[in-house]
Amino acid sequence: MATTFCDAIAIIKRHRGAFVVLNMVFYGLVALSMVATLHIPELQAPYKPSTEQAFAHPGLFKTVADAYANRNLLLAISLTFLVNLIIAAFGMTTLPSFALPFVGILAQFYRAFLWGVLFAPIGPLRVTLIPHSLTLLVEGQAHVLAAFAAYVQARMFLWPHRYGLNSHKAGYKAGVLSTLKLYSLIVLALLLGAVYEVVESVYFMPLLLRH
């Protein structure tokens, strides 16, 4: 496992410029859309109802919400982690990028925009952004890493000779391997994010809302 982490760090160092740019764009989009929503609260209108309905109607997200409401910490952490890993990181970013190079990066940029709109500090729940900002930072880093993995995989596939590889097929395989290595960091970030998100939602936010 230690070797995998070291390999993942080495991949980031090799593509340091792209990693920095992806971080700047992702968190920049969160900040910009958040500021825009502060000035134009109506931006939330198309997204809030569908989000609330997803957590209110029977299904996966309702199960997650119930785990939080019932303070079932282990279940809430597990479901939060798995939803972010399987659906958000792999399903929305990595898997599409295996079929169409770079496309998963756009999904994460849309996520950044959506976060800024949904979590803009307006209304009675604005104080909850104080503890939740760390969740956005940690989980956001996992999603940046997923976008970065899509970037590296696409480069290896499209320009294999830059990596000392002889064919696009070899580049594709090498890109998949690099993605798997980067997933060690993605899993770690999502796990830490899930633990903190559940703790802050169950314990910190209710204290803030009482005041």
Task: Evaluate whether residue 210 is within a structural domain.
Answer: no
The answer on pLDDT for 4 being more than 80 is yes
- Domain membership of residue 61 (yes or no) is yes
Residue 27 resides in a domain: yes
Total domains present in the chain: 1
Q: Would you say residue 6 lies in a domain?
A: yes
**pLDDT, position 12:** 98
Report the C-alpha gap between 94 and 100 in whole angstroms.
10
Q: Does residue 102 sit within a domain?
A: yes
CB 105 within 8 A of CB 94: no
Comparing CA positions, the residue from 80, 59, 57 lying closest to residue 68 is 80
pLDDT tens for 77-106 read 999 999 999 999 999 999 999 999 999 999
Would you say residue 17 lies in a domain?
Answer: yes
**Which residues have C-beta within 8 Å of that of residue 189, sequence separation ≥ 6?**
138, 139, 141, 142, 145
Query: At 61, is the pLDDT very low, low, confident or very high (cuts 50, 70, 90)?
Result: confident
Question: Residue 63: pLDDT above 70?
Answer: yes
Longest dimension (CA), the chain: 63
Q: Could you tell me if residue 14 is inside a domain?
A: yes
Enclosing domain of residue 6:
2-204
Residue 74: phi and psi, rounded to 5, are -65, -45
Mean pLDDT, rounded, of the chain: 91
Please indicate, yes or no, if residue 209 is contained in any of the structural domains: no
What is the pTM assigned to this prediction?
Answer: 0.92
